[in-house]
Amino acid sequence: MSINNNSEFKPKIVAFCCNWCSYAGADLAGSSRLTYPADVKIIRVPCSCRVNPMFILRAFEKGADGVILCGCHPGDCHYTSGNFYARRRMTLLFSMLDYIGVENGRTRVEWVSAAEGVKFSATMNSFVEKIYSLGKNVRLEDLRCKN
């Protein structure tokens, strides 16, 4: 959409992290002194499957420029199968968001285990970089009528 190359642009990025893997991974990234941009706001969820598609719509409606969901690697879910369901749901939701005009670069799912502090930091860095290159998001809140 309207790419605003204004240097003032500070993206709002929401990261949903599962309690058992990715949140611990973020913790490890912190204690390992690895850096990732402060634009990322982490929300801890019990499982990646807890993320109702509405949460993501909600984030975009409230003006998020990107949403990333992190969970345990497939097969490693603390609740056995939560991330499998999340994977299908998110695939369809992201495809739908792309369909209504939110570029697919703004949505991502990444599997980060508790031991992968390096991967967490690298993922966040690359995701934020991607959002900077995409610029400001469409105003999803205007989908039904322009405010």
Partner 1 sequence: MQELITRAKELLADGTVARVLGWKAGDLEYNPQPAFFTNEKELEEFVYNGFCGANLSKYMIEASKLEGKTLICLKPCDSYSFQQLMKEHRIDREKAYIIGVGCKGKLDIDRIKANGLKGVTGVTGAELTDDCEELCVTTLYGDKKIPYADGMLERCSVCKGKEHMICDEQIGESKDTKTGERFAKVAAVEEMSSAEKFAFFQKELSKCIRCNACRNVCPACSCRKCVFDSTKFDSAQKANVDSFEEKMFHIIRAFHVAGRCTDCGECSRVCPQGIPLHLFNRKFIKDINELYGEYQAGADIEAKAPLTSYVFEDVEPSVVAERSKS
The nearest distance, CB 68 to partner 1, in angstroms, is 11
Residue number with CB closer to partner 1 (27 or 103): 103
The nearest distance, CB 20 to partner 1, in angstroms, is 19
Question: For the chain, how far is it from start to end, CA to CA, in angstroms?
Answer: 18
Residue number with CB closer to partner 1 (27 or 139): 139
Residue number with CB closer to partner 1 (30 or 143): 143
Catalog residues that contact partner 1 under the rule CB under 8 A.
1-2, 52-55, 57-58, 61, 74-75, 81, 84-85, 87-96, 98-105, 107-109, 138, 140-146
Residue number with CB closer to partner 1 (47 or 93): 93
Bridge partners of 14, per DSSP, are: 41, 67
- Contact partners, residue 36, CB within 8 Å, separation at least 6: 29, 120, 121, 124, 125, 128
Q: How far apart are CA 139 and CA 117, in angstroms?
A: 33
For residue 43, how many other CB atoms are within 10 A of its CB? 14
